[in-house]
Structure 1
Amino acid sequence: MAGLFGSATLGIGGGTLSDLFRAQYRGKAVAIYSWSPILAPLVGAVLGGFISQNTTWRWTFYASSLLSIVIQLSGLIFLEVTYPPLLLRRKKARQAKATGADDLYTEYDHLDEGRVQVLSTNLFRPFKLLATQPIIQILALYNAYFYGNIYILYANYIDLWTNVYGEFIEIAGLNYIAIAIGSSIAAECCTLINYAIFRKLSSRNGGTGVPEFRVPIMLPATLFFK
């Protein structure tokens, strides 16, 4: 269940950035957004060490649940809709009510579907793509390998400091700060480099960018990871 609900953050976050920024400016926004999924597990590990050492292991779940409630309520209050079709449909409804006109339309009207249809389409689309598109399959394996290695590192990193160096668990957890700092610097540097590559390749392509222009940095990054 944690994975199911947590995955929404990555999907919705990327979609929101696409709604708010044009492709040529999106790299800077991604650089800031990329901090969260990198820092959050590490900050959680540091706090979890203090919580589990001074209370019980159950409070690691209580604390994350309470934090999730606060974040959810804050999102409901402060976050606004950015999805263009929905915003335009709402604007059309307001204008139709104010003017009495019944011939208003938007460029997305042909996409207007019922909620059940939209939900079923979006739930089944990822599985359909994964089953039929080789590029999706390759990238899924690629990300599974990297995320698997990263979280194995996160899970076992603290054992080095507790079992080998004999540190208390809350003090050992502070060593995650080093990974957090290094990961943040690396994420920002790679994002800015990727943004520069994207702009250069786009200029060579007549000013039009395509998703493949963000791929070149993956090869050297993969080699460094190994």
Structure 2
Amino acid sequence: MKDNQTDTDLSSVRGYKPDPVNHRTKRNRELHKRNVLETAAQLFMERGYAGTSMADVAAALQIGRTSLYYYFESKEQILSSLVEEVTVSINATATSLTSMSGTPDQLLRELVRRHVEFIAQNGIIFRVLTNSQMYLTDELKEVNNAAKNGIYRNFRKVIAQGVEAGTFRPIPPSVGAFTIIGMCNWVSSWFKADKNLSVEEIGIVIADMAVDSVKANSTFESDKEIHSTLAEAKQAIDKLSTLLRAP
């Protein structure tokens, strides 16, 4: 009998289970790569991007430079990964959310909640990327700026829909978008996971405040009052950050 075993589709064989080794190997590599990225980001934060070498990153990880090059070949590649991990990732999430069905206030609440949670969980790499803009290549600047513009457009789109539907007050959507995005991003400068509120709780609190700051309310009669409310929301978060910083 001719042996056709090499042509057999093993997935069709009863009782066959795929070897999980390759999956585990890929997963472990991603975990190690993330560890390298976070360690490099911490060094960039402490010493500056220009003041940190690949040798410094390898030393902090207690691995050889050859092992480090398995994950990243250069600092520029690390910076490229930061763009992918932060700006591109946030924009992808925002774009996905705005394509879902829901009322403007529901969509805005979810946009803010997810944005805040991401920033709270990735504060260091977000701040490092913000502080390292000058070191981005022209190509990376283009990718980063396109993603940032995408984030803005997603927020602006939802706010504009809310204004048109009468769900939100008649504020300029661009002003609302920039203000709320800034509120979200600012979390990176003060949030600490070991304080009283969790990442999820912070996300909910700020999402509620953001939506409340733009919701339609007949007691508001002028743009001045509307902008004042947005300023009050930021002041409230100032107080929240002060409380969380307290010992």
Indicate whether the TM-score tops 0.5.
no
TM-score by length of 2: 0.31
Q: Which has the higher helix share?
A: 1
TM-score by length of 1: 0.33
